[in-house]
Amino acid sequence: MTGKRTLPREGQHAHRQDLRLYKGVEAWVFDLDNTLYPHEADLFSQIDEQIALYVQKVLDIGRDEAMAHQKALYHEHGTTLRGLMTTQNIDPDDYLAFVHDIDYSRLDPNPELGKAIEALPGRKFIFTNGDRPHAERTAAALGISDHFEDIFGIVEADLVPKPNRSTYDKFLEQTGISPARAAMFEDLPKNLKVPHNLGMCTALIIPRGSAEVFREDWDMEGDPYPHVDFVTEDLTGFLKAVKGTIS
């Protein structure tokens, strides 16, 4: 699915099939994990495993209990890091270094994505709940580092994760971009609510092969994501289609 979203009933949100919505965009904002690299690269599973190990170490509990506790912290506090800071007073730098100690060789360079990002008019940013070193290593492995003006990570956000409104406000203040002239790309629908409300054009990146499941959910729920303007399984192809439309 490249360039438009398939909707359950003809006529619903027809404007969201029109890539001319991107005309006038001057800032392109990309999440990192499972967005700039495909979900099937399975990089984030390593981070997830490291987080569970950290919880296990800090709380001195078994692996299964640690994984369950990790998920509970995530859902209650937005990130496991925030939960552990609140409940265990951990050192965030120690946590971030530990959980991002992973093998980046699973990522293949993606020169086509790099070309597609480079071709977009205006400024480009990475905006992640991970930290800057993780984003730098990931972008380097993908071969796309040179195409971004800056990285805004969890440290720059004062350790407050997306989707908290204050985090987006800090990002906008630091970069000076106008949300009405910005586009946001994310793999988590909840992280697109604030950008949509601020006036950004929003795109959801879903795993390859999941379009049918996504469409079935849409059929059953009507419009579960009114804050999502576009959905694509192929970020590179989508960006090429956008550039071709707005040129």
Which pLDDT value is given to residue 215?
63
Peptide bond into 189 cis (omega under 30): no
Is residue 17 predicted with pLDDT exceeding 80? no
Strand runs labelled E in the chain: 27-30, 123-127, 150-152, 182-186, 201-205, 230-232
Is residue 78 predicted with pLDDT exceeding 90? no
Is residue 73 predicted with pLDDT exceeding 50? yes
- pLDDT 10s digits, 211-246: 666 666 655 555 678 899 999 999 999 999 999 999
**42, two tokens:** 């399975």
Instruction: Please state the rounded mean pLDDT for residues 32-40.
Output: 93
Report the topology of domain 44-99: DNA polymerase; domain 1 (1.10.150)
Domain boundaries, given as residue ranges, for the chain = 14-41+107-246, 44-99
**Is 14-41+107-246 a domain of CATH 3.40.640.10?**
no
Burial class (CB in 10 A: 0-12, 13-18, 19+), 204: buried
What residue type is 89 in one-letter code?
Answer: N
- pLDDT 10s digits, 149-191: 999 999 999 999 999 999 999 999 999 999 999 999 999 999 9
The answer to which of 21-25, 200-204, 223-227 has the lowest mean pLDDT is: 223-227
Output phi, psi for 114, to 5 deg.
-60, -45
Which pLDDT value is given to residue 40?
86
Which pLDDT value is given to residue 10?
32
Output phi, psi for 183, to 5 deg.
-130, 140
The answer to whether the CB of 180 falls within 8 A of the CB of 202 is: no
Q: Rounded distance, CA 230 to CA 172, Å?
A: 22
